[in-house]
């Protein structure tokens, strides 16, 4: 019998070994199950979008609104442009709400203002992967995610403090929900897709609905339920989409108290700003100027405005691979009479075609086009390229399926991509892409033979083909990051020297005064709002629409609410600067521009009312 004082035999080593072995095996299984390729692609996407983000210039219009919205809950809810909440932005403020939260966390700087969009653009990459994977297969999902990760227009937009990357991510989320709805045959997921579209509408309005027809096509073709239920589910999802889309506009319209005047509205209502200023007018070219090349069927492929380098280089690849893969699918389906109901993969491919075709048509013909608008099209382009490459190489099918890779179709598609890269003027990249294309075709030939390493040759051919297609987009994206490019593209603002001069001069002279100054063109004062967070008195809104009459300015002056007025030189802005209010200010004030150290060539003058 063992004595109580005798030390017990040591059993820790055996117990530890017995416990460590299952833990190590579980850890090994977990590491093997992690989608390392997706993690790597997402890391690349994040690096392109977040590297040196603080050096990228911003959109002063929206940045001023973020500054003003952070001052009070009233400004936050209405999306006020200026601290006094006289003007509001021209869109629902959902994206700016996220920016306000970001600057509270990181501080009011370039990084804090752009972080939400950069994060949304990064998260859209794995979300698109999982969407395409569920519908078509893992190889197509990886190719689609890699394409979106390095697509120049997507990188450029995500590095800007505008809201298009968030809209794109919500659109991909809606498509993801639709794929889940098709797999489960349950309307709950489709209604969630409608909610995601509604949230996207509250970010970028009608642009968010570009993918709605694609989701309808996907669910109508592939949902495993009777037609009557499909129609009912689509209608219910549409109701959810409309309710969420109009929720903020209805709440703002019914809210009591003072309502800021939305920039661009002609009657002071958010409805006019949403559906006229940001809807019909932009579609017909009534607002702003065209970007890049004139409207036409080849607008997105031209070199003017660099649209070809930003999107056309991948659009050509998606059209070439998707078109050849589609023709091949039709031929094979004719040989083997398929089932009457399309598969989920076929319905998803049809949905991508609808989305991409509609997007190309809209952006080719729309009156006003800016680079960031094209972000609404990028997931469809990326998905089309991924599906096309996987289809031509017969990747993603069940293991027992015969290998029927198409080296000829692969070579034809890659030839189109290399030729377009050369046409854009980058011969060096085109030559390297051609070498990768030749290697991809050779690997496809080996995969088709089925004799030598067929299991490796197929994925290798897909990787080389994707690398050949994405070589030029990667080059453009890295260049954009290195040069701190963005597509913020705000309105005309005062030069930094003039901003500093105004801030230093007006600070001690307007202490205790309600308005820092009155201005006849307030959008140009966005940097001053960001710098000082002081209320201003806007005499006009966008396009010279009168906000404060001469009598109103005189009342504010007599009440001691304003002492200084900033006017553009007549006839620099004839409609604004030559009116009765501007003439009265010049006749009853002292020009203090020199004292405020405003640069001589600048087209504004500062006056002190007498």
Chain segment 50-97, per-residue pLDDT in tens: 999 988 888 889 999 999 999 999 999 999 999 999 999 999 999 999
pLDDT band per the 50, 70, 90 thresholds, residue 159:
very high
pLDDT exceeds cutoff 60 at 28: no
**Averaged pLDDT for residues 140-153:** 96
The alpha carbon torsion through 259, 261, 266, 270 (nearest 10 deg) reads -60
* Angle value at C-alpha 225, between 222 and 229, nearest 5 degrees: 110
pLDDT band per the 50, 70, 90 thresholds, residue 452:
low
Give per-residue pLDDT as tens, 370-394: 889 999 999 999 999 999 999 888 8
**Averaged pLDDT for residues 466-490:** 88
Helical pair 344-365 and 164-184, crossing angle rounded to 10 deg? 150
Looking at residue 456, its pLDDT comes to: 81
**Averaged pLDDT for residues 416-423:** 91
pLDDT exceeds cutoff 80 at 21: no
Across the chain, mean pLDDT equals 86
SS3 letters across 309-362 = HHHHHHHHHHHHHHHHHHHHHHHHHHHCCCCCCCCHHHHHHHHHHHHHHHHHHH
User: Do 459 and 395 contact (CB within 8 A), yes or no?
Assistant: yes
**Averaged pLDDT for residues 495-516:** 89
* pTM for the structure as a whole: 0.89
**Averaged pLDDT for residues 242-259:** 93
pLDDT band per the 50, 70, 90 thresholds, residue 522:
confident
How far separated are the first and last CA of the chain, in Å rounded?
A: 109
Look up tokens 């500093």; give the residue. 500
Neighbours of 431 (CB within 10 A): 12
Tokens of 509: 């002279």
Looking at residue 327, its pLDDT comes to: 84
Looking at residue 1, its pLDDT comes to: 39
- 31 versus 570: which is more confidently predicted? 570
pLDDT exceeds cutoff 50 at 399: no
**What Å distances lie between residue 131 and 113, 230, 344, 479, CA to CA?**
29, 20, 12, 30
Looking at residue 454, its pLDDT comes to: 55
Looking at residue 402, its pLDDT comes to: 39
Looking at residue 398, its pLDDT comes to: 46
Looking at residue 450, its pLDDT comes to: 64
Phi, psi of 133 (to 5 degrees): -60, -45
Q: Tell me the chain's radius of gyration from C-alpha atoms.
A: 29
Looking at residue 488, its pLDDT comes to: 72
Domains in the chain: boundaries: 40-401+473-482, 496-609
pLDDT exceeds cutoff 90 at 258: no
Looking at residue 478, its pLDDT comes to: 94
Please give the share of the chain, as a percent, with pLDDT higher than 70: 86
């Amino acid at each position: 019998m063992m004595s109580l004082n005798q030390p017990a035999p040591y059993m820790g080593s055996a117990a530890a070994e017995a416990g460590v072995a299952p833990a190590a095996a579980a850890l090994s299984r977990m590491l093997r199950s992690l989608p390392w390729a997706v993690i790597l692609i997402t890391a690349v996407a994040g690096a392109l979008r977040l590297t040196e983000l603080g050096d990228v210039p911003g959109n002063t219009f929206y940045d001023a609104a973020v500054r003003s919205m952070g001052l009070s809950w009233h400004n936050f809810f209405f999306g006020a442009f200026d601290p006094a909440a006289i003007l509001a932005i021209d869109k629902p403020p959902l994206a700016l709400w996220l920016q306000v939260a970001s600057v509270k966390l990181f501080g009011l700087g370039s990084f804090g203002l752009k972080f939400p969009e950069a994060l949304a653009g990064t998260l859209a990459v794995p979300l698109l992967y999982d969407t395409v994977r569920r519908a078509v297969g893992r190889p197509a999902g990886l190719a689609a995610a890699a394409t979106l990760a390095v697509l120049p227009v997507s990188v450029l937009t995500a590095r800007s403090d505008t809201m298009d990357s968030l809209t794109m991510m919500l659109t991909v989320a809606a498509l993801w929900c639709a794929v889940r709805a098709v797999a489960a045959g349950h309307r709950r997921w489709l209604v969630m897709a409608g909610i995601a579209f509604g949230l996207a509408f509250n970010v970028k309005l009608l642009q968010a609905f570009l993918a709605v027809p694609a989701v309808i096509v996907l669910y109508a073709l592939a949902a495993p339920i009777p037609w009557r239920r499909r129609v009912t589910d689509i209608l219910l999802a549409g109701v959810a989409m409309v309710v969420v889309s109009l929720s903020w506009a209805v709440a703002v319209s019914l809210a009591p108290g003072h309502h800021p005047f939305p920039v661009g509205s002609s009657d002071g209502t958010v409805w006019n700003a949403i559906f006229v200023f940001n809807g019909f007018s932009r579609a017909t070219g009534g607002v702003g100027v065209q970007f890049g090349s004139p409207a036409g069927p080849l607008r997105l492929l031209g070199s003017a405005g660099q649209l070809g380098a930003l999107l056309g280089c991948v659009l050509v690849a998606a059209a070439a691979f998707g078109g050849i893969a589609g023709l091949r699918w039709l031929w094979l389906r004719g040989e083997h009479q398929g089932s009457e109901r399309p598969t989920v993969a076929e319905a998803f491919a049809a949905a991508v075609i609808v989305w991409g075709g509609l997007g190309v048509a809209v952006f080719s013909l729309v009156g006003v086009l800016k680079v960031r608008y094209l972000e609404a099209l990028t997931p469809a382009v990326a998905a089309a390229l991924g599906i096309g490459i996987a289809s031509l190489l017969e990747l993603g099918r069940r293991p027992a399926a015969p290998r029927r890779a198409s080296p000829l179709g692969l070579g034809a598609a890659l030839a189109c991509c290399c030729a377009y890269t050369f046409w854009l003027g980058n011969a060096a990249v085109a030559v390297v892409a051609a070498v990768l294309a030749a290697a991809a075709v050779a690997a496809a030939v080996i995969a088709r033979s089925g004799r030598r390493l067929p299991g490796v040759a197929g994925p290798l051919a897909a990787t080389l083909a994707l690398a050949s297609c994405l070589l030029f987009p990667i080059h453009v994206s890295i260049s954009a990051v290195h040069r701190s490019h963005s597509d913020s593209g705000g309105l005309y603002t005062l030069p930094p020297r003039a901003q500093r001069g105004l801030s230093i001069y007006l600070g001690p002279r307007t202490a205790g005064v309600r308005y820092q100054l009155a201005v006849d063109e307030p959008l140009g004062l966005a940097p001053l709002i960001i710098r000082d967070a002081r209320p201003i008195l806007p005499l006009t809104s966008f396009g010279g629409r009168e906000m404060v009459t001469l009598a109103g300015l005189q009342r504010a002056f007599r009440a001691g609410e304003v002492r200084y007025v900033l006017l553009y030189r007549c006839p620099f802005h004839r409609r604004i600067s030559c009116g009765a209010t501007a003439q009265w200010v010049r006749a009853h004030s002292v020009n203090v521009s020199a004292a405020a150290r405003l640069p001589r060539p600048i087209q504004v003058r500062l006056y002190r009312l007498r």
